[in-house]
Structure 1
Amino acid sequence: MAVAALEHVNITVTDPERTARRLCELFDWKIRWKGRAKYDGFTVHVGSDDSYLAIYSKGTPSDPAAESYFTRGGLNHIGVTVDDLDTVEAKVEAMGYTPHSHADYEPGRRFYFHNEDGIEFEVVSYA
């Protein structure tokens, strides 16, 4: 049986270029592709050779729900693994984001932050 792997997740943001730049800076990712997208929108694909986030916008997106965990089909958070949690947390703070919900447990450590579009990221290290 073939093993399945997650290739990408597509999210809607206010400014795909800004979001992609910040994710590249935080996680040492690269921009894989960018261009016109569905419904006359614009998308930037950012990530690694194996997986990526499709960062999409069509004009001015509507306001997000107040709490994704209560929205069927809502995006609760995006988890990203890193080798050096403390270095990434310092970058997160330098960008003006507020880390929260720190947790240390076997086998790893983590924290969360929300970007300017209200998307929550979970940053995890198993190192």
Structure 2
Amino acid sequence: MSTAIFEHVNVTVADPKKTAAMLVKLFDWKIRWEGPSKYDGYTVHVGTDDAYIAVYTLPDSAQADAESYYRIGSINHFGILVDDLKAAEEKILEAGYKTHSHQTYDPGSRFYFHDDDEIEWEVVSYA
């Protein structure tokens, strides 16, 4: 049996194009695909050739949260691995986000920030 590999996660946001543009800018990712999706919503796949985040919105994001696709920011946090933690933080601060909860412990160092949808991002380096 082959090892399973994590490929993507899907999260509901207020504006998938805005969130995707933030991720491209901060982490040098690319837009892999975008278009109409489930429940007449819109999705942008943003990431690398190997893995991505699907950022999704409904045509009316004020609908009741009957299921996860209706909840904005229902993830605890996303962990993003970088080679240079200081350079990543500088880029995030320059983009206007506030970083917090800086920690160093085995096996690496990390900090967090929240985006415009209050989604928490953990940025970690094991270098």
Q: Identity of aligned pairs, percent?
A: 57
Please say if 1:34 is aligned against 2:34: yes
Unmatched tracts of structure 1, length 5 or more? 64-73
TM-score, scaled to structure 2: 0.88
2:50 is matched with which residue? 50
TM-score, scaled to structure 1: 0.88
C-alpha spacing 1:58/1:125, structure 2 compared with 1 (3 Å): same
Give the C-alpha shift of residue 52 in structure 1. Answer: 0.2
1:122 is matched with which residue? 122
CA distance in 2, matches of 1:81, 1:15: 24
Please say if 1:11 is aligned against 2:11: yes
CA distance in 2, matches of 1:34, 1:93: 27
Counterpart of 2:89, as a letter, is: E
Alpha carbon RMSD of aligned pairs, Å?
1.6
Question: Contact conserved, 1:14 with 1:60, CA < 8 A, in 2?
Answer: no
CA distance in 1, matches of 2:75, 2:22: 19
Counterpart of 1:15, as a letter, is: D
Unmatched tracts of structure 2, length 5 or more? 64-73
Counterpart of 1:118, as a letter, is: E
